[in-house]
Amino acid sequence: MKHMLEAVVQELNELFWSKVLIIFLVGTGFYFTLRSRFLQFRLLKEMMMVLKEGKTSAAGGLSPFQAFCIGMAARVGTGNITGIAIAIALGGPGAVFWMWIIALIGSASAFVESTLAQIYKVKDHGGFRGGPAYYMEKGLKKRWMGALFAILITLSFGLVFNAVQSNTITVAFQSSFGTDRLTLGIIMTVLFAFIIFGGIKRIAKASEYIVVVLAVFYIGVALFIVIMNIEQVPGVLALIVKSAFGLEQAAGGTFGAMIMNGIKRGLFSNEAGMGSAPNAAATAVTSHPVKQGLIQALGVLIDTGVICTSSAFIVLLSPVYKQTELSGIELTQASLATHMGSWAPGFLAFMILLFAFSTLIGNYYYGETNIEFLNTNKMWLIVYRVGVLAMILFGAVAKVQLVWDLADLFMGFMVVVNLIAILLLSKVAFMALNDYVQQKKAGHNPQFYSNSIENIEGAECWPEAEMHKKENIL
């Protein structure tokens, strides 16, 4: 029965990703890139400026920079370290190239979904909340679609993705210290139960910012390794590009597997178009929705272009990936040991613990927010919490491949629903972008109103501008 489940999940994954999702995901991102006139390149400087000015928190909610940190905290985790190693092990070095491509294309998708999340956000206890479920309900007038997405993101992030995090932690500690995976899984489950049943939201919020510090430190380690092996860097870059087009196969990767693994692992890491980051983007207090859209688009580029690339260089600058059957966190640990010494795998295990445990909390709150969209009855929240704890324990002892296959499958379903919604609503996001650009050209700090865009409904958190004021701004 167990082997049958593994086979079914793997077969569904291969069919779904190779036949359906890759075409849909890349096609949508490419369409948004053309519609926005290559926003990710054209407005890169503007993204930096908006992020810098967004550090000041407004009354009643999070600042754009704080929302950016929350989104990055959810993005940065085991996918950046473990997922990249899996992509290289299964698809070869060329998978890294396709990971870069999906980030560049996906940045436009991230802009659209996060801008829409800002436009259709709702008030929540003095702050704001929102995301795909909300713009599906308010923008498309399809609550059933919002409910479907809310269920999928709750299953994906709250349950399956949290199993991935606990799996990575226990595998890393078993590899470094010989720790029993079940014992560590029980400890994590009990500790996490204290957090979610105790309602200690300050701990969750603090952990999100800690991840940003950890990410900077991890990049620093990778940069040190690159500098120490600087003479090999041109060869590694050439290997990535050659392998990407089948000119030089390495590590047993085939052309199809290389593209599929590069895209899957890139998406799992940067979450572009997945519909998760908009939940964080909606919480920001900003003068114009496009500002938060630009910030989240930048987050995708930073996540994949900097952090994932750091992991790729750690692995590819080591000969380990050619000589062993290792994959995932064990491959990254073994590679790091060749660069830094025998102490490095244990150090990475503790870093993974902090990365992954913080992501557990972020994933949990994504699910909680969407359960509130579905039903405010506290009983459903209790059932959800018990399910989260059960999946953390399951992930701690499950096979690595099964856990990641389940994550990919649920991620795929979620992406399809969200991409359909943002395609249907993309006109609103691009009209908002035009409004923003016009105001910038006029020398103004862009301000958004519910009547800044014609025929828009459901933007309940944005005031309506008086006509004479609107004329002065535009």
pLDDT band, very low/low/confident/very high, at 146 (cuts 50, 70, 90):
very high
Strands (E), 38-180: 122-124, 127-129
Long-range contacts of 131-134 (CB under 8 A, 24+ apart): 131/275, 131/278, 131/279, 131/282, 131/369, 131/370, 132/275, 132/278, 132/279, 132/417, 132/418, 132/421, 132/422, 133/370, 133/373, 134/282, 134/373
Whether residue 356 is contained in a domain is answered as yes
pTM across the whole model: 0.82
List alpha helices for 233-343, DSSP H. 233-244, 255-270, 277-281, 289-302, 309-316, 320-323, 328-340
Question: In the prediction, which pLDDT does 250 show?
Answer: 46
List beta partners, residue 128.
Answer: 123
Average pLDDT over the chain reads 80
Q: Tell me which residue of 279, 287, 281, 300 sits closest to 435, measured CA to CA.
A: 287
What is the token pair recorded at 174?
């078993």
pLDDT: which is higher, 406 or 136: 136
Task: Note the pLDDT tens digit of each residue in 201-256.
Answer: 555 555 556 666 777 787 788 888 888 888 888 888 888 888 877 655 544 445 56
Amino acid 230 reads I
3 within a domain of the structure (yes/no): no
What type of residue is 431? M
DSSP 8-state assignment for residue 436: H
Kindly report the CATH number assigned to the domain that includes residue 117: 1.20.1740.10
Percentage of residues of the chain with pLDDT beyond 70:
77
Yes or no: say if 21 and 260 are a contact pair by the CB < 8 Å rule.
no
Q: What is the pLDDT of residues 122-140, one digit of tens each?
A: 887 777 888 999 999 999 9
Domain that holds residue 461: 9-473
Residue 420 sits at φ, ψ, to 5 deg, of: -60, -45
**pLDDT above 60 (res 350):** yes
Domain count, the chain: 1
Is residue 1 assigned to a domain? no
Provide the pLDDT for residue 474: 41
Q: Quickly state the pLDDT bin for 369 (edges 50, 70, 90).
A: confident
Determine, yes or no, domain membership for 454. yes
Q: How many CB atoms lie within 10 A of CB 169?
A: 29
Structural domain includes residue 430: yes
User: What is the per-residue pLDDT across 57-86, written as a single tens digit (0 to 9) for each?
Assistant: 555 556 667 667 666 666 666 667 777 777
Judge whether 176 lies within some domain: yes
pLDDT at 251: 45
Least confident of 85-89, 249-253, 335-339: 249-253
Q: Is residue 2 one of the residues assigned to a domain?
A: no
Q: Residue 378 pLDDT more than 50? A: yes
Which residues does 445 contact at the CB level (< 8 Å), separation at least 6?
A: 287, 439
Least confident of 45-49, 224-228, 345-349: 345-349
Q: Is 4 domain-assigned?
A: no
